[in-house]
Structure 1
Amino acid sequence: MTEPQIDFEAVFQALPAGLAVLNQRLEYVAVNESYTQMAGRRPEELVGHYIFGLFPDNPFDPDSEGSRTVGDSFLRVLATGVRDTLPLQRFDVERGARTGVFEERYWSIINSPMPGPSGRVEYVIHRVEEVTDYIRTSGVSGQRGRSAQELQAEVYMRARELQDINDALRSAHAREREIALTLQDAMLPAPQPVGHRAAVRYQPAVGALNVCGDWYDLVDLPRDRMAVAVGDVVGHGLEAAGVMGQLRSALSAASRATAGPGEALEILGLYSRSIEGAEATTAVSVFIDWPAHTIKYSSAGHPPPALVDQAGHVRFLDLATDPPLGARPDHVPRPQATARFTPDSALVLYTDGLIERRHEDIDLGLARLSSSLTRHHSLDPESLADVLLSELLPPTGATDDTALVVIRL
């Protein structure tokens, strides 16, 4: 299934903020619908015309200087290539067809540079939002007896109050992020397997705190064996991470005390019934036995691990799949299967964020993973993990969390 093509002209026209593109002569090159509505003019009445020829200052108000202030901003952007955010602007506008009758209006303006093919700034993106109604209802304007300096001082005071609120919110978010990072480091430490090469990666969804409900775990076992697991709790953020921490610890303990992955997941399933938010969690557990060259595995509704041999042939371990945790009302033993591996193969465990895309069959994601493993199977675990994330996650960032484990067998 191909990705849908984006009609950027339609996006430009649909944006709620008023946008205009001006050339170096400050003539309109393009305008969107929101801008024409605010300007009260059709696109053909704007494009090709000098902006301040169409919107001059109010000649009856000696304090009116909107064109000079905004014009200076345009020149700064063209000269420096740096975006310029203006303080709240009062710019009087002629009232419809009544020439010479001006109406007091207020605007929030941001001017941004737009380079041409040469890399030099050739255009300015003029973003305008009218805030007249807000200013009037807040009691800041509409008082002609007040000087422009007094009016501007009160506007700045209101803006400062909003800035203080924003600073407080950013500080609270920073504290929450610090807690999230500490929690992540505590629950998802870097693996230190004895005598074997492994790499792990953890990639939260775009917009999430740096913590989520996905996890990985590597446990060294006696007689040169290792238990490896990945899991995925429904949801994001600190609440999902709390559930994840409990389930990860429980599965890690069960892996040390049981004979195989099926029994370990069976114990985890029973334990999950006592944890709110654990229902529908998926997990896969794998026991690697290096002397016997075997992998025992069991899956609770989780995407299958991928085994790639030294020739680049990929096999998905999908013969022991059961529903997610808490999906069955009654207890049923979990299935388990065994696969053999050749030396220098690689085993890859992952969560669904690596392969799943909205409106796409999961088989396409598995095919992408298989293709990438075939091309890069000879890389060391650290390099292979980086390549998989680079090739399989969307360039704009994943919409779901991703955990990844790569082990050289």
Structure 2
Amino acid sequence: MRKPQIDYAAVFRALPGMVALLTPDLVYADANDDFLRLAGRTRDQLLGRYIFDVFPENPNDAAAAGRRETEASMLRVVASGERDTMALLRYDIEDPARPGVWQEHYWSPVNAPVLGPDGKVALVVHRVEEITELIRARGNPGDDDRARVLEAELYTRARELQEVNERLRRAHAREREVALALQAAMLPAPGPAGRHAAAVRYRPATGALNVCGDWYDLVDLPGGDLAVAVGDVVGHGLAAACVMGQLRSALSAACRVADGPAQALEALGLYARSVEGAESTTVVTAFVDRAARTVTYSSAGHPPPALLHPDGTVTFLDRATDPPLAARPEHLARPQTRTSFEEGATLVLYTDGLIERRTEDIDASLARLADSLARHRARDPESLADALLTDLLPAAGNSDDTALVVIRL
């Protein structure tokens, strides 16, 4: 049987219910027939125009919030690439035949993204359920009072929801300010790392606060050596960030007095037993001896660091891996391994947000990282770090946090 030829433009126009397409700048790109009919606008009055030029807020209603809430919802979709369902709202529309006369409307909108080939939001689908007639319903003359009560109650509940959403927005803004201050305190930009050129990057998960449970640290050791660490606390948000701050500080101190990375992680593991929320944290630590041109490393359940050689080959440092912090019921010594490097090699430490994807095996993820490193091996640490994030993180944003350290040896 032949596959039917579908005219998707005709299907869109015939869709039941009000549906419009807008660009990320909130300019109308198309609208179906029901949208035009129920909104009382022609296609020429919509297409190519900014949504709130076509449907401005009712200037006679000081409490009107329809525009603000609709705009906020659409911009959230553009920023996150995720669907946003709005609460019931009232949005009055000016009668096109009678300028200055505003018609009361009640809408139940949903905004959804359409992603382009680059993974970014190319269009916003704006679907509106028109329920004005339901709220105004007056089946019989005797039902007038009940209808008016229903209308008033629904409108009151909608306003209450709008006020709750506004309070939540303000609370989230305050929490984000706290998060930014916390990030600046706990993840400062690294100072000079001896003779090593280094770059660090931190990317929170999409939709998360700017701090979560991932961290990095670089510590100058006596004799020009360097200790570098990357870790990942289970969970997200301020609670995970507070645990991260405690562990980061403890490991930074341990690296300064330990004989090697294994001993530093042993001390951190003992400390983690006393910190609520620190269990199952993963971390990897490497000590760089520039004079001997060696990297000594130890890992507590963390993805293996990558050693990029000048010829473009990549070695994953995976021969000293042990369980995460506080995962064992008793304390045991941790392993460490030493490997040599050539002048001009690059050491890369990262958290799992950089490489892991739910739909693929870890070996495929590591192979993708190795390929990106090889292709960009001639770059300096700063531009290499940016190239890795561009190659490996989804364009629409990642679901997990990512910390990254790149050091030229």
Structure 1 residues 53-92: aligned runs within 5 Å: 70-72=39-41, 75-82=44-51, 84=55, 88=90
Q: Report the equivalent of 1:191.
A: 190
Counterpart in the other structure of 1:17: none
Which residue in the other structure is 2:13 paired with? 29
Cα deviation 1:98-138 (Å, max 9, x = unaligned): xxxxxxx95446899x9xxxxxxxx996622254699489x
Change (3 A) 1:213 1:89: closer
Q: Structure 1 counterpart of 2:292, which letter?
A: A
Q: 3-state SS of the aligned residue for 2:235?
A: strand
The C-alpha deviation readout for 1:164-217, integer Å capped at 9, x for no partner, is 332221111000000011101100000012332100001111111111100000
* Shift in Å, 1:394: 1.2
1:129 aligns with 2:135: no
Residue 80 of structure 1 aligns to a residue whose secondary structure is coil
Judge conservation of contact 1:90–1:107 (CA < 8 Å) in 2: no
1:244-289 CA-to-partner distances (Å, cap 9, x unmatched) read 1111000000000111100000100111000111111100000001
Evaluate the alpha carbon distance shift between residue 124 and residue 397 of structure 1 in structure 2; reply closer, same or farther with a 3 A threshold. Answer: closer
C-alpha RMSD over aligned residues:
3.9
Shift of 1:80: 1.0
Q: Distance in 1 between matches of 2:279 and 2:133?
A: 49
Letter in 2 for 1:228: V
Aligned letter for 1:201?
R
Question: Partner of 1:98 in structure 2?
Answer: none
Q: Which residue of 2 aligns with 1:351?
A: 351
Counterpart AA for 2:349: L
Q: CA contact under 8 A between 1:281 and 1:324: conserved in structure 2?
A: yes
Counterpart residue number, 1:287: 287
Moved over 4 A (4+): 49-52, 83-87, 109-112, 123-126, 130-137, 142-148, 150-161
State TM-score, norm by structure 1.
Answer: 0.72
Are the counterparts in 1 of residues 135 and 150 from structure 2 also a CA contact under 8 Å? no
* Structure 2 CA distance for partners of 1:124 and 1:362, relative to 1, 3 Å: closer
Q: Return the offset for 1:70.
A: 1.1
Q: What are the ranges of 5 or more consecutive residues in structure 1 without an aligned counterpart? A: 1-20, 37-48, 53-65, 92-104, 115-122
Paired position in structure 2 for 1:364: 364
1:388 aligns with 2:391: no
Matched position secondary structure for 2:374? helix
Letter in 2 for 1:206: T
Q: How does 1:108-123 map to 2 (within 5 A)?
A: 108=108
CA distance in 1, matches of 2:255, 2:109: 60
When residues 90 and 317 of structure 1 are mapped into structure 2, their CA distance, relative to the original with a 3 A threshold, is closer
Query: Can you list the C-alpha shifts for 1:284-334, whole angstroms capped at 9, x where unaligned?
Result: 000001111010000000011000111111001111111111111111101
User: Which of 279-288 and 78-87 deviates more?
Assistant: 78-87
CA distance in 2, matches of 1:155, 1:307: 62
Output the CA distance in 1 between the equivalents of 2:110 and 2:325: 51
Alpha carbons 1:28, 1:51 under 8 Å: kept: no
* Structure-2 separation of matches of 1:73 and 1:151: 33
Corresponding residue of 1:264: 264
Which residue matches 1:182?
181
Where do 5+ consecutive residues of structure 2 fail to align? 1-7, 20-31, 56-65, 68-88, 94-104, 115-122
Percentage identity across paired residues of the two chains: 60
How far 1:157 moved relative to its partner? 6.7
Larger Rg: 1
On the 8 A contact 2:194/2:226 being kept in 1, the answer is no
**Which amino acid is 1:177 matched to?**
R
**In 2, distance between residues paired with 1:111 and 1:77?**
18
